[in-house]
Amino acid sequence: MSKFALVKVKEIVGTISFSKLVIDDYCPFDEFINEIEHQGNLRKNLLSVFAIMDQIANLKFLPQSKFKDITPKKEAIKEFEIKKGDLRVYLIKEEEHILILGGKKNSQAKDIHKFRSLKQRYLASKQSHRS
């Protein structure tokens, strides 16, 4: 069974902390950051994404066009999407914000599918840990 862990995101400073999900030493969010940094042309958008996360951490209201609740009906743990240009970041909200993964606009459907699957696996692993 996969091992899930949360690692604090030090780059975000605010009242509510941000963590990123790590599955067996693999972090989808870090992979996304590395990919965007490697490509180079969307680096400014990436900095804007960090700025948006900073405002979320500091409990500031944001327009829906930048930070959107994408939780399906009857789902207890809230799901959110951060949007800037071509970039998308998917996160869930528990006691803190948990960054699951990021991607580009053209892979949105696939990324959301992967995001929800990781979320369910993470929540299941937490549940089995408790019992």
**Residues across the chain:** 131
Residues 66-105 as x/- pattern, contact with other proteins by CB under 8 A: x---------------------------------------
CB of 88 to other proteins, least distance (A): 16
CA torsion angle for 71, 72, 76, 77 (degrees, to 10)? -30
Count residues binding other proteins (CB under 8 A): 23
* Identity of the residue, 51 or 77, whose beta carbon is nearer to other proteins in the bound complex: 51
Helix axes 43-57, 28-39, angle to 10 degrees: 140
β strands within 16-77, DSSP E: 18-23, 67-69
For residues 37-66, which are near other proteins according to CB under 8 A?
37, 44-48, 50-52, 54-55, 60-66
